[in-house]
Amino acid sequence: MTDDTTQNPFAGQDLDTLYRETIDQQRSHLLGLQETFNKRCESAKVVAQEKLKALAPEDNEGKKTILQEQKATLEALLKELKHAIDESTRTVMKRLEEINVEREKKIIADLEKQLATL
């Protein structure tokens, strides 16, 4: 006979609460990703501004180069953010699906018990 927790990782837990907690944790995680992204973008902006201040006003090529570097940095940061969101969302969706499957199993088991008493 196997331990119930090896077959059901959610044994003994309230599935509705677990579902809500998982969503809340994901929301907090996404807000953290957004905050980090915003800070990194602001940092890139400050770096570009400092570089621009060091240029002569008539150095249009230098300005163009700095702005292109800033754009590349921001695009890389956005790509990282999208990757982190995609990866996190896939993981959470899988977990939520697992929780829903357990909910359905519980409902079916309860219905079978009710039918057995009829």
pTM listed for this prediction: 0.79
Is residue 86, in this structure, part of any structural domain at all? yes
- Reading the block at residue 86, the tokens are 């995609």
- Reading the block at residue 94, the tokens are 């899988």
**pLDDT score recorded for residue 2:** 45
Q: What is the pLDDT along the chain (118 residues), one digit of tens a residue?
A: 444 445 677 777 899 999 999 999 999 999 999 999 999 999 999 999 999 999 999 999 999 999 999 999 999 999 999 999 999 999 999 999 999 999 999 999 999 999 998 8
Is residue 8, in this structure, part of any structural domain at all? no
Is residue 70, in this structure, part of any structural domain at all? yes
Rounded-to-integer distance, Cα 75 and Cα 5, Å? 44
**pLDDT score recorded for residue 1:** 42
Is residue 100, in this structure, part of any structural domain at all? yes
**pLDDT score recorded for residue 81:** 98
Is residue 63, in this structure, part of any structural domain at all? yes
Find the domain containing 32 and state its range: 13-116
**CA separation, residue 88 to residues 26, 33, 34, 81, 104 (Å):** 8, 10, 13, 11, 24
Is residue 7, in this structure, part of any structural domain at all? no
